[in-house]
RNA sequence: GCGAGCGUGGCGGAAUGGCAGACGCGCUAGGUUCAGGACCUAGUGGGCUUUACGCCCGUGGAGGUUCAAGUCCUCUCGCUCGCACCA
């Protein structure tokens, strides 16, 4: 008998798989396709445990589904543009392209050592010209469809990264990548009009039952749809102007006692111009604008307001209400003006109390409750009926919302409106290592898109980065200066590159035809392979990548380029990998790398542990002893197969069956059933693995129960072969080797997944639990499917139960066939 | 503050409303080999006593529904995540 040598076995099979091109996928309309995809990585240089986890999960599915005869596509690639490459380039005086290529090469080797069944023919690299050419092409498609536009506005600026960020990339006022404070800058930038798709991005979440609720909820919150009314207020002494305000509570319109404008509101300056308040207001506006996003939007920041000296006219009752400027009003949301109804909004309430503005209740809670402006300590924000509201008095507030809105529309004073929290996607990045935005600025023709035939706009590679503090294309004259495609006149190129999230918003489509050179993807291939049936990745992309990718898919759908409206049918958000209760990090010294696990135990052990330790969507705590346990299990399988291979070859065996054979077969079929359901329906790989462990234990028990010469060769052989097949998705190398040891031809991964026979699960005798008043008081062994009456009789017949029931009246007897009898007695 | 999720042995974790703790780790005892991170067997939630195929308690806490609740309902505590002046 040989010992289990993981390294040797894994190298052997990896080489063979590569030589035989085992995992190549081809279009085949006669077969049902299945697209398994793990989020592609940024080539940082090294794989970490999070990578190993996501690849292990994906590979189990891919291998399982292939054995279930699906035509599986399982590709891998590189999200290769991004800041770290520039930083590394500056530090090590190496070109970002070279640095990236080296990392890719190394990480690919690591992935191969894990034995993941990727179709490497489909590998993509977003930083390669033949990829970003199409990222640029898609930008131009957006431009043609008026979905890409340039505007000057306040944008998020990260000092450390020296670039702007999209709203989704600012987390609690900090940069998502480097966690430094984000400040506001007024710049001219390119945006994608994702807000045009807000409604569909929201509504179509319903089409995604295979997505985790929490991810859908996060997207829903991010999109932030609010229904309400936009209402126009006239301004006293400014007959030409009006202030439009958005509210979700038009029913409280009669309770408005003031109006607040955002500091950036265009009317602020004209309103105070020439008045004695002008300087004060202008100073306040300037000060507020200087504050960072985090200070501006924090709830802790006190609300500050400043009276402008002007008044607005409430359109429904003609009342004059003061106009203020307030730091808490955001120009980017709604209309940048808020009507103050302090009695029914807690922010307005707080603000009114602070500045001693009048509070007028217009929604009565109803019932016994009183509504008194003098005594109220907080706003009443719930429903009620309208009071102090002229002809609307007595109307239920919910109905009042409709009625007031209808009235405003009739009188041409306002209209129903839906507002979203989501803003357009800012995609300009003032960086070098990205896809150049394919736009040319001509003095005569203005903004001119680069003609499709001139794509890609290539990144200059012969650049010297180390001298620049901020690597930017603007530093390279030969890149910047060009001629206008329209008039051949002198022109300059856009020097910003695109947000890397653009490149990852369509890579799953490129995988379907990675070499297509006439379009971003071949329509026939995309139609065959799309959508991604199972997508797997981290929760951190819930509103970043996953929202952007959905947006791109919808745009391409509208452009008639694809037939799917949503890219990812099912989504699995895998949990994080921790050790000792903390995230693995160098500073804590608790890092375990895939490399060291592969070296010490082999990839199969690492994969098995990572899948066994926890269900995929939960966080996983790395445990070295648990890894050893999994390694022991694989050795146990190894011994079982090598020992038995000799036995089933040499001993004569007997044919008659006794209880042991039936028991073994029952274990086998139960395991087949459980493993199949756990992989395919529940994604509970941990319990699937435990079922295989139980099966292995059962085979050991069989071998121990009988003398070698009495083994039933056929049944033992079948059990062993099927055990190896069940193990194949989890420990692919060991499965191949043991398959071969059992004398089988061909790859175990080409076998059909076994089916179970329900008859085999049947047992002759079952143990039935006897309860008295819900407590277990005994057990009886009876033939399976024993009729209720005789079951009850047997149960009551036993001495113990008889004793317990003595002198009691039986109220009721509940029977669960083959499981339990509960006698309720008083 | 709002929203979501989660609380089960020493640990990771199992349990279509039907025997709580599968499987694994760890631990205990015995065996075996002692050159290997070994292997095999048995045991392992807590407590009680009359040591019995015995009883009581036990899934964060308190109630409830049910013949039966880790599972369903109500309240409550704790932890994690997301959003957070969005009018």
* CA→C1' distance for A740 and B34 (Å): 33
- Count the Cβ atoms, other than its own, within 10 Å of residue A31: 12
**Is the shortest CB-to-strand distance from A599 to strand B under 7 Å?**
no
Q: Are residues A281 and A387 in the same domain?
A: yes
Residues pairing with A227 in the sheet: A418
Q: Are residues A235 and A369 in the same domain?
A: yes
Nearest to A705 by CA among A644, A660, A654: A660
Residues 3-62 of A with CB under 7 A from strand B: 3
Residue A478 has pLDDT above 80, yes or no: yes
Q: Are residues A631 and A711 in the same domain?
A: yes
pLDDT tens-digit series, residues A337-351: 999 999 999 889 989
**Is the shortest CB-to-strand distance from A705 to strand B under 7 Å?**
no
**Is the shortest CB-to-strand distance from A826 to strand B under 7 Å?**
no
The sign of the dihedral angle between the CA atoms of A718, A723, A729, A734 is negative
Nearest to A233 by CA among A141, A101, A339, A358: A339
The predicted pLDDT at position A301 comes to: 77
Which nucleotide has its C1' atom closest to residue A422's CA? B86
Query: Residue A699: inside a domain, yes or no?
Result: yes
Residue A227 has pLDDT above 80, yes or no: yes
Q: What is the DSSP string of A649-699?
A: HHS-------HHHHHHHHHHHHHHHHHHHIIIII--HHHHHHHHHHHHHHH
- CATH number for the domain harbouring residue A707: 1.10.730.10
**Is the shortest CB-to-strand distance from A184 to strand B under 7 Å?**
no
Widest pairwise Cα distance in chain A: 110
Query: Residue A392: inside a domain, yes or no?
Result: yes
* CA→C1' distance for A303 and B54 (Å): 71
**Is the shortest CB-to-strand distance from A78 to strand B under 7 Å?**
no
Query: Residue A202: inside a domain, yes or no?
Result: no
pLDDT tens-digit series, residues A535-592: 999 988 888 999 999 999 999 999 999 999 999 999 999 998 988 777 887 777 888 9
Closest residue by C-alpha to C1' distance, nucleotide B12: A613
Residues pairing with A810 in the sheet: A825
What mean pLDDT is predicted for residues A286-310?
A: 79
Which nucleotide has its C1' atom closest to residue A678's CA? B14
* CA→C1' distance for A281 and B2 (Å): 34
**Is the shortest CB-to-strand distance from A543 to strand B under 7 Å?**
yes
Range list of β-strands (E), A236-351: 238-247, 258-261, 305-313, 320-326, 337-340
Contact A522, A529 (CB under 8 A): no
- Read off φ and ψ for residue A370, nearest 5 degrees: -105, 155
Q: Mind spelling out the 3-state secondary structure of A120-149? A: HHHCEECCCHHHHHHHHHHHHHHHHCCCEE
Residues 243-302 of A with CB under 7 A from strand B: 246-249, 262, 296-299, 301-302
The predicted pLDDT at position A653 comes to: 59
pTM of the model: 0.93
Is residue A780 very low, low, confident or very high in pLDDT (cuts 50, 70, 90)?
confident
Q: Residues 6 or more apart from A478 whose CB is under 8 A from it?
A: A460
**Is the shortest CB-to-strand distance from A423 to strand B under 7 Å?**
no
Contact A562, A527 (CB under 8 A): yes
The predicted pLDDT at position A461 comes to: 86
Containing A588, the helix (H) or strand (E) segment is: none
Residues 326-355 of A with CB under 7 A from strand B: 327-331, 333-336, 338-339, 345, 347
**Is the shortest CB-to-strand distance from A818 to strand B under 7 Å?**
no
**Is the shortest CB-to-strand distance from A774 to strand B under 7 Å?**
yes
Residue at a domain's end among A500, A523, A545: A500
Residues 201-220 of A with CB under 7 A from strand B: 213-214, 217-218
* CA→C1' distance for A775 and B64 (Å): 20
Residue at a domain's end among A419, A448, A465: A419
pLDDT tens-digit series, residues A399-414: 999 999 999 999 999 9
Residue A255 has pLDDT above 70, yes or no: yes
- CATH number for the domain harbouring residue A771: 3.10.20.590
Q: Residues 6 or more apart from A631 whose CB is under 8 A from it?
A: A601, A602, A605
Contact A136, A456 (CB under 8 A): yes
The predicted pLDDT at position A717 comes to: 92
What mean pLDDT is predicted for residues A472-490?
A: 92
The predicted pLDDT at position A724 comes to: 97
The predicted pLDDT at position A83 comes to: 87
Contact A673, A761 (CB under 8 A): yes
The predicted pLDDT at position A112 comes to: 96
Query: Residue A188: inside a domain, yes or no?
Result: yes
Q: What is the mean pLDDT of chain A?
A: 90
Q: Are residues A515 and A490 in the same domain?
A: no
Distance CA A56, CA A608 (A): 8
What mean pLDDT is predicted for residues A63-68?
A: 97
% residues pLDDT > 70 (chain A): 96
Residue A654 has pLDDT above 70, yes or no: no
Contact A77, A127 (CB under 8 A): no
Coil vs helix vs strand at A202: helix
Distance CA A788, CA A823 (A): 13
Q: Are residues A817 and A746 in the same domain?
A: no
Distance CA A74, CA A749 (A): 15
Distance CA A772, CA A443 (A): 93
CA distances from A812 to A710, A771, A815 (A): 50, 12, 10
pLDDT tens-digit series, residues A490-540: 999 999 999 999 999 999 999 999 999 999 999 999 999 999 999 999 988
- CATH number for the domain harbouring residue A306: 3.90.740.10
Closest residue by C-alpha to C1' distance, nucleotide B80: A619
The predicted pLDDT at position A469 comes to: 64
pLDDT tens-digit series, residues A351-374: 999 999 999 999 988 766 667 777
Closest residue by C-alpha to C1' distance, nucleotide B11: A623
* CA→C1' distance for A674 and B78 (Å): 35
The predicted pLDDT at position A553 comes to: 97
Q: Are residues A180 and A45 in the same domain?
A: no
Which nucleotide has its C1' atom closest to residue A304's CA? B85
The predicted pLDDT at position A655 comes to: 58
**Is the shortest CB-to-strand distance from A765 to strand B under 7 Å?**
no
* CA→C1' distance for A254 and B74 (Å): 39
Query: Residue A601: inside a domain, yes or no?
Result: no
Instruction: State the total domains in chain A.
Output: 5
The predicted pLDDT at position A811 comes to: 82
Query: Residue A433: inside a domain, yes or no?
Result: yes
- Count the Cβ atoms, other than its own, within 10 Å of residue A522: 18
Query: Residue A1: inside a domain, yes or no?
Result: no
The predicted pLDDT at position A19 comes to: 96
* CA→C1' distance for A761 and B8 (Å): 30
**Is the shortest CB-to-strand distance from A547 to strand B under 7 Å?**
no
Which nucleotide has its C1' atom closest to residue A613's CA? B12
**Is the shortest CB-to-strand distance from A805 to strand B under 7 Å?**
no
Distance CA A643, CA A665 (A): 20
**Is the shortest CB-to-strand distance from A687 to strand B under 7 Å?**
yes
Residue A17 has pLDDT above 90, yes or no: yes
The predicted pLDDT at position A563 comes to: 97
Which nucleotide has its C1' atom closest to residue A245's CA? B87
**Is the shortest CB-to-strand distance from A620 to strand B under 7 Å?**
yes
Q: Which nucleotides of B are covered by protein (CB under 7 A)?
A: 3-5, 11-15, 18-20, 22-26, 36-41, 53, 55-56, 67-69, 81-87
Is residue A379 very low, low, confident or very high in pLDDT (cuts 50, 70, 90)?
confident
Query: Residue A600: inside a domain, yes or no?
Result: no
Q: Are residues A344 and A453 in the same domain?
A: no
Which nucleotide has its C1' atom closest to residue A327's CA? B85
ipTM of the complex: 0.94
The predicted pLDDT at position A293 comes to: 60
* CA→C1' distance for A330 and B86 (Å): 8
Contact A231, A244 (CB under 8 A): yes
* CA→C1' distance for A663 and B32 (Å): 28
**Is the shortest CB-to-strand distance from A486 to strand B under 7 Å?**
no
The predicted pLDDT at position A658 comes to: 66
CA atoms within 13 A of residue A657's CA, in its CB half-sphere = 9
Which nucleotide has its C1' atom closest to residue A351's CA? B85
- CA of residue A657 relative to chain centroid, distance: 52
Closest residue by C-alpha to C1' distance, nucleotide B5: A214
Q: Are residues A484 and A541 in the same domain?
A: no
The CA-CA-CA angle for residues A218, A221, A222, to 5°, reads 85
Q: Are residues A52 and A30 in the same domain?
A: yes
Residue at a domain's end among A500, A515, A536: A500
Coil vs helix vs strand at A195: helix
Q: Are residues A463 and A547 in the same domain?
A: no
Closest residue by C-alpha to C1' distance, nucleotide B82: A218
Contact A264, A155 (CB under 8 A): no
pLDDT tens-digit series, residues A731-753: 999 999 999 999 999 999 999 99
Least confident of A125-139, A299-313, A515-529: A299-313
Contact A691, A671 (CB under 8 A): yes
Residue A291 has pLDDT above 80, yes or no: no
Helix-helix angle A713-727:A624-650, to 10 degrees: 150
Residue A776 has pLDDT above 90, yes or no: no
Q: Are residues A238 and A296 in the same domain?
A: yes
Domain of residue A814, residue span? 763-825
Residue A452 has pLDDT above 90, yes or no: yes
Q: Are residues A247 and A371 in the same domain?
A: yes
**Is the shortest CB-to-strand distance from A418 to strand B under 7 Å?**
no
């Amino acid at each position: 008998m040989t010992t289990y040598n993981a390294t040797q076995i894994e190298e052997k099979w990896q080489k063979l798989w590569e030589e035989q091109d085992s995992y190549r996928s081809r279009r085949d309309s006669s077969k049902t396709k299945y697209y398994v995809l793990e989020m592609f990585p940024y080539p940082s240089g090294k794989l970490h445990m999070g990578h190993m986890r996501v690849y292990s999960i994906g590979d189990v599915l891919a291998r399982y589904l292939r054995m279930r005869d699906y035509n599986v596509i399982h590709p891998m690639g590189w999200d290769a543009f991004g800041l770290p490459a520039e930083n590394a380039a500056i530090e090590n005086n190496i070109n970002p392209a070279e640095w990236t290529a080296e990392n890719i090469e190394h990480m690919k080797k690591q992935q191969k050592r894990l034995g993941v069944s990727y179709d490497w023919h489909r590998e993509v690299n977003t930083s390669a010209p033949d990829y970003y050419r199409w990222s640029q092409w898609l930008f131009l498609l957006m431009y043609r469809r008026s979905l890409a536009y340039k505007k000057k506005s306040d944008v998020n600026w990260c000092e450390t990264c020296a670039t702007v960020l999209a709203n989704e990339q600012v987390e609690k006022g900090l940069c998502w990548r480097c966690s430094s404070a984000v400040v506001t800058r007024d710049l001219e930038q390119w945006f994608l009009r994702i807000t045009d798709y807000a409604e569909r991005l929201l509504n179509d979440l319903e089409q995604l039952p295979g997505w985790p609720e929490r991810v859908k909820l996060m997207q829903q919150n991010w999109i932030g749809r609010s229904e309400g009314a936009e209402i126009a207020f006239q301004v006293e002494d400014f007959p030409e102007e009006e202030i439009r305000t958005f509210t979700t509570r038009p029913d409280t319109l009669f309770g408005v006692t003031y109006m607040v404008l955002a500091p950036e509101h265009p009317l602020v300056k004209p309103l105070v111009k020439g008045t004695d308040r002008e300087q004060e207001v202008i100073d306040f506006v300037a000060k507020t604008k200087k504050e960072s996003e985090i200070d501006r939007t924090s709830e802790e920041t006190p609300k500050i307001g400043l009276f402008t000296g002007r008044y607005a006219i409430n359109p429904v009752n003609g009342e004059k209400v003061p106009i203020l400027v307030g730091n808490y009003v955001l120009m980017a949301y709604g209309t940048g003006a808020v009507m103050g109804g302090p009695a029914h909004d807690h922010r307005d309430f707080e603000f009114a109390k602070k500045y001693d503005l009048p509070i007028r209740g217009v929604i009565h809670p109803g019932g016994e409750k009183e509504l008194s402006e003098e005594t109220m300590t907080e706003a009443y924000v719930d429903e009620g009926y309208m009071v102090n509201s002229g002809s609307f008095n007595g109307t239920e507030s919910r109905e009042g919302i409709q009625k007031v809105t209808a009235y405003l529309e009739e009188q041409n004073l306002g209209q129903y409106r839906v507002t979203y929290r989501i803003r357009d996607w800012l995609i300009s990045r003032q960086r070098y290592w990205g896809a150049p935005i394919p736009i040319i600025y001509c003095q005569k023709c203005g903004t001119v898109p680069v003609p499709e035939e001139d794509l890609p706009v290539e990144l200059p590679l012969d650049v010297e980065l180390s001298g620049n503090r901020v690597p930017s294309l603007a530093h390279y004259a030969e890149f910047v200066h060009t001629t206008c495609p329209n008039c051949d006149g002198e022109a300059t190129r856009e020097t910003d590159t695109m947000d890397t999230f653009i490149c990852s918003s369509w890579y799953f489509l490129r995988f379907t035809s990675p070499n297509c050179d006439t379009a971003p993807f071949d329509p026939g291939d995309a139609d065959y392979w799309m959508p991604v049936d199972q997508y797997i990745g981290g929760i951190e992309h819930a509103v970043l990548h996953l929202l952007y990718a959905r947006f791109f898919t919808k745009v391409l759908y509208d452009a008639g380029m694809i037939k799917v409206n949503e890219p990812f049918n099912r989504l699995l958000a895998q949990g994080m990998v921790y050790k000792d209760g903390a995230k693995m990090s160098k500073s804590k010294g608790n890092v375990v790398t895939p490399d060291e696990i592969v070296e010490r135990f082999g990839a199969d052990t690492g994969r098995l542990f990572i899948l066994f330790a926890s269900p995929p969507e939960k966080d996983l705590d790395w445990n070295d002893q648990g890894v050893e346990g999994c390694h022991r299990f694989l050795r146990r399988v190894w011994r079982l197969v090598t020992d038995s291979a000799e036995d089933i070859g040499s001993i004569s065996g007997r044919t008659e069956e006794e209880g042991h054979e039936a028991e073994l077969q029952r274990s086998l079929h139960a395991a087949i059933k459980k493993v199949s359901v756990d992989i395919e329906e529940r994604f509970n790989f941990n319990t699937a693995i435990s079922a295989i462990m139980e099966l292995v234990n059962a085979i050991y028990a069989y071998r121990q129960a009988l003398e070698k010469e009495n083994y039933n060769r056929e049944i033992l052989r079948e059990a062993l072969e099927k055990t190896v097949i069940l193990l194949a998705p989890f420990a692919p190398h060991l499965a191949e080797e043991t398959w071969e040891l059992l004398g089988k031809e061909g790859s175990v991964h080409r076998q059909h997944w076994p089916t179970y026979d329900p008859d085999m699960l049947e047992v002759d005798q079952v143990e039935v639990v006897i309860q008295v008043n819900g407590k277990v008081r005994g057990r009886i062994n009876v033939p399976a499917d024993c009729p209720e009456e005789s079951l009850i009789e047997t149960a009551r017949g036993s001495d113990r139960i008889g004793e317990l029931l003595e002198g009691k009246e039986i109220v009721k007897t509940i029977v669960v066939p083959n499981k339990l009898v509960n006698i309720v007695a008083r």
